[in-house]
Structure 1
């Protein structure tokens, strides 16, 4: 079973994504910020991480840096899912190694399609 880690501090987004991805047959793990995400990744190396940018303690930009610099996690695909929608924010996220960048509000259907595509690639 393919594993997804959802890292976001907004409970409504986390709950809806967890439900949607479990329905698609994914194993889903949840973290509220980057530091919690890294603890979970030590136990359960996900195939893909859905990552918010603006979070308490460790933000998404710092988190992706830690993911990409750790050989154990580096193969995990990363999708940013953020309210930060300026071109500079998107460009920064992609330069840091994200495979995709979705802005909030977003289409769950399009996100699932992107996840399926990245995991199968």
Structure 2
């Protein structure tokens, strides 16, 4: 079973994402900021990460840079899921090593489509 780490400071967003991802057959872990997520990745690297941008302690782009410098560009697959809609932010995320980008709010259809696009489904 493939694993996904949901990284978001909102408990509600994590809960909704968990429900969708478990429905798609993933085992799901959660982290509420980038620092927790990096520790989780060091413990067990997931197949995919659904990543928020704006979080306390370590934000999503800081986490992404740390993840890619430590584990490389190939794995895990990272899908940003955020309210950041500026083209500059999307470009920074992709250049930083994100595989895809989802705008909040999201639904099951969007998550499934993006996860198919990055090869997780």
TM-score (structure 1 length as normaliser): 0.91
Write the distance in 1 (CA, Å) between the matches of 2:66 and 2:94. Answer: 15
Distance between the aligned counterparts of 2:86 and 2:120, measured in 1? 29
Asked whether the equivalents of residues 48 and 119 of structure 1 are also in contact (C-alpha less than 8 Å), the reply is no
3-state SS of paired residue (1:105): coil
1:32-87 Cα shifts (integer Å, max 9, x gaps): 00000011112221011111000001000100001111137851111100111111
Listed as ranges, the gaps of 5+ residues in structure 1 are none
Aligned length: 121
Contact 2:52/2:82 (8 A) holds in 1: yes
Matches of 1:65 and 1:96, distance apart in 2: 6
**Runs of 4+ deviating beyond 4 Å:** none
Q: State the superposition RMSD in angstroms.
A: 1.7
Given the alignment of the two structures, is residue 2 of structure 1 paired with residue 5 of structure 2, yes or no? no
Aligned to 1:29: 29
* Counterpart secondary structure, 1:19: helix
Q: TM-score, normalised by structure 2?
A: 0.91
1:1-121 aligned at under 5 Å gives the runs 1-71=1-71, 74-120=74-120
* Secondary structure at the counterpart of residue 46 of structure 1: coil
Report if the CA contact (8 A) 1:6-1:30 is conserved. yes
User: What displacement does 1:107 show?
Assistant: 2.9
Distance in 2, Cα, partners of 1:74 & 1:68: 8
